[in-house]
Amino acid sequence: MIATLITVSMLSAAPPDSADGLFAEGRRLLKAGKTEEACAAFEKSLALDAALGTLLNLADCNEKRSRLAEARTQFLEAADRAKTAGNAEREQVARARASALADRLARAEREKSAGTAPAPAGAPVAEPGPSAPPAVVASPAPELPLGPLPQSKPAPAPSRVGPVVTIAAGAALIAAGAGGLIYSVTTYTRFQRQQPGQPDAFKGDVSRGQFDMLRWLYPGSIAAAAVGAAALTVGAVWLGASSPAPRRVSVGVIATADGIFVPISGTF
């Protein structure tokens, strides 16, 4: 109730020659029974601002002044626009009104062909013929939801925290793997220089413990670098997919005697 009062107050305060002012004038004239003037006000308002509520009111007004075909076309247009806007209530009402008008137009066409005057809205409906069924009273058209059209909220932008963390973790693993490989290679090179032909080759600066550590450090470093490269690739692709515009990302792994290099190219 409060929202409706605020809306009516805002429309009443609008300039009379604005879209809102003309809409409010059309509503006032329609309640006063001045259908022709109300329809003219709705048409001017719609020309200034093609609002869905104004289109629905104009269709309702045209139906009241017996412009059934024009009203049905406007109700169908309003239903399509309501569907696009995600307003299921207004779409359902507009399609129901258009369907009721289609029945009235078909009945009027049959009565015209039979040479009888069209029946007014709400009058008993009887099919022609010698054995016509009992009269059926047409059901009243559903009321229009005339409140302001709710504004749809834009979809939230995808978060980039996940891909950035994945890229950082991949880079850290690659750095750790590269460091392990460099240490393994330099340590093994120093061991080879310790005259391995002597009975005990571990009397130099490379101890047996260091040499034994190379047995798991070297393959572990390769595995860490490989996992890091995979994580970096996934993070880069993920980051590109979460961007508003399509991104192209290229990730490679190059292993040389000086270390492991992971070139990344693309737009972020």
Predicted confidence band of residue 140 (pLDDT cuts 50, 70, 90): low
**In the numeric block, which tokens belong to residue 236?**
């880069």
Q: Do the Cβ atoms of 175 and 247 come closer than 8 Å?
A: no
Chain centroid to CA 42: how far?
Answer: 31
pLDDT at 134 over 50: no
- 46-50, 76-80, 186-190, 224-228 — which is least confidently predicted? 186-190
pLDDT at 60 over 80: yes
Share of the chain above pLDDT 70, in %: 58
The pLDDT of residue 2 is: 33
Q: What is the length of the chain? A: 268
Could you tell me which residue, 123 or 65, shows the higher pLDDT?
65
**143-173 as b/e: b if 16+ CB within 10 A:** ebeeeebeeeeeeeeeeeeebeebbebbbeb
The pLDDT of residue 72 is: 94
Question: How far is residue 133's CA from residue 128's CA, in Å, rounded to a whole number?
Answer: 9
- How many other CB atoms sit within 10 Å of the CB of residue 125? 14
pLDDT at 127 over 60: no
Could you tell me which residue, 30 or 9, shows the higher pLDDT?
30
14-28, 72-86, 175-189, range with greatest mean pLDDT: 72-86
Q: Domain limits of the chain? A: 2-127, 161-195+203-266
| pTM: predicted TM-score of the whole model, two decimal places | 0.42
Question: How far is residue 137's CA from residue 122's CA, in Å, rounded to a whole number?
Answer: 6
Reported as a single tens digit per residue, the pLDDT across 97-116 is: 999 999 999 998 898 888 75
What average pLDDT does the segment 167-172 reach?
A: 82
pLDDT at 208 over 50: yes
- 17-26, 127-136, 201-210, 226-235 — which is least confidently predicted? 127-136
The pLDDT of residue 206 is: 61
Q: Do the Cβ atoms of 102 and 138 come closer than 8 Å?
A: no
Could you tell me which residue, 132 or 167, shows the higher pLDDT?
167
The pLDDT of residue 12 is: 52
In this structure, which topology does domain 2-127 adopt according to CATH?
1.25.40
Reported as a single tens digit per residue, the pLDDT across 217-229 is: 778 878 877 887 8
Q: Angle 52-64/88-114 helices, nearest 10 degrees? A: 20
The pLDDT of residue 170 is: 77
Q: Do the Cβ atoms of 65 and 74 come closer than 8 Å?
A: no
Question: How far is residue 171's CA from residue 242's CA, in Å, rounded to a whole number?
Answer: 20
Reported as a single tens digit per residue, the pLDDT across 81-93 is: 999 999 999 999 9
Report the chain's mean pLDDT, rounded to a whole number: 74
SS3 of the chain: the string is: CHHHHHHHHHHHHCCCCCHHHHHHHHHHHHHCCCHHHHHHHHHHHHHHCCCHHHHHHHHHHHHHCCCHHHHHHHHHHHHHHHHHHCCHHHHHHHHHHHHHHHHHHHHHHHHHHHCCCCCCCCCEECCCCCCCCCCEECCCCCCCCCCCCCCCCCCCCCCCHHHHHHHHHHHHHHHHHHHHHHHHHHHHHHHHCCCCCCCCHHHCCCCHHHHHHHHHHHHHHHHHHHHHHHHHHHHHHHHHHCCCCCCCEEECCEEECCEEECCEEECC
